[in-house]
Amino acid sequence: MRLFIPILLSLASTATADHSWDHRDIVAGQNLYADNCASCHGANLEGQPNWRTPDADGVLPAPPHDGTGHTWHHDDELLFEYTKLGGAAALEVRGVTGFNSGMPAFGETLTDDEIWDILAYIRSTWSEREQEAQASRNPPH
């Protein structure tokens, strides 16, 4: 798996560089979210109870994606990579090893555009302040 991480990072970074929030299909993203994400993150983006406290296996429950969570604290590239590669692999690429993430990889299930549409839907639910704060975390491209 370690040999594939640089390749996956390269692919994810390319997709991120080409991405723009303009022209995203938020309705498709909402439907994709319902089909692929809501079972863990909640139909209303509310996350699982006690999402800040690891379970018996050391895995954090799924966090909310609404304004009460921390999703809007992260840059676009991390959000994309976390979804495409899965939590552990996305963090390993950034030098964080041994993190017991419950987030699976969706790179073989969803296209890059579908992932961006889901993220656009999630982002569309945030307040203007949260959207601006999240946008400020992204390097210019």
DSSP for the chain, written as a single string: -TTTHHHHHHHHHHHHHT--STT--HHHHHHHHHHHTHHHH-TTS---TTTTS--TTSPPPPPP-STTSSGGGS-HHHHHHHHHH-HHHHHHHTT--S----PPP-TTTS-HHHHHHHHHHHHHTS-HHHHHHHHTTSPP-
The confidence score (pLDDT) of residue 141 equals 60
pLDDT in tens, 71-112: 999 999 999 999 999 999 999 999 999 989 999 999 999 999
Q: pTM here? A: 0.85
pLDDT in tens, 59-69: 999 999 999 99
Domain ranges for the chain: 5-135
The confidence score (pLDDT) of residue 19 equals 60
**Arithmetic mean of pLDDT over the chain:** 89
CATH code for the part of the protein at 5-135: 1.10.760.10
